[in-house]
Amino acid sequence: MSGAAPQPATIGEFLQIPEDRRFHELVGGEIVEKATPSGEHGDAQAGIVGAIRPAYQRRSRDGGPGGWWIATEVEVLLESALLGSAEVVRPDVLGWRRERVPTRPVGFPVSIRPDWICEVVSPANANTDTVKKLRVYHRANVVHYWLVDPRDATLTVMRWTDAGYTMVLRAERGETVRPEPFDGIELVLGTLFGDDPPE
């Protein structure tokens, strides 16, 4: 005799997890614990922040384009009619355009949809980043989605369209690219995966 299908987890159940132990996400009605970051994961995440934040965070002081709020590991509440229920994600790196969000997003979780999300793929939950969260971000109208994958040292850059995300760039270690929406800077892919910056 088969039992009834489990009920989807709710935002209330998610928020019952104590804040100091809430390293989880609520995706597709399931509370999912985030994988413990590996050295490769942390290196890639730090590389992205180090490349983008100096040029784009707020108003750049060094002549860069500025115009963004860039953050890491922020809990974000995504809601829309298409989602059908609330989702809570904790992207590795994310950003909001200042022209749309003039003041720094605050709260726990933040309730303002990001304009850009970057996930560093972890082997333990690769399917979550490459399939489940991709669908969640598309339904929530996140315009730009990046996947950085240390397993094969690649960057995949996607842009939102009605039909789904369109891949606009796929690059690998050894390449230097200008990935949207941060095409005002050059990103040396190898530096995300432990390579020294070029001389």
* pLDDT value at residue 138: 94
Strand partners, 170: 156
Considering the domain 38-72+91-193 in this protein, what is its CATH number? 3.90.1570.10
Sorted by where each begins, the domain ranges of the chain are 38-72+91-193
- What tens digit of pLDDT does each residue of 106-137 get? 988 999 999 999 999 988 788 888 898 999 99
Tell me, yes or no, if the pTM score tops 0.85.
yes
- What tens digit of pLDDT does each residue of 14-42 get? 888 988 888 888 888 888 888 777 888 88
DSSP string, 72-92: ES--EEE--TTTSS-EEE--S
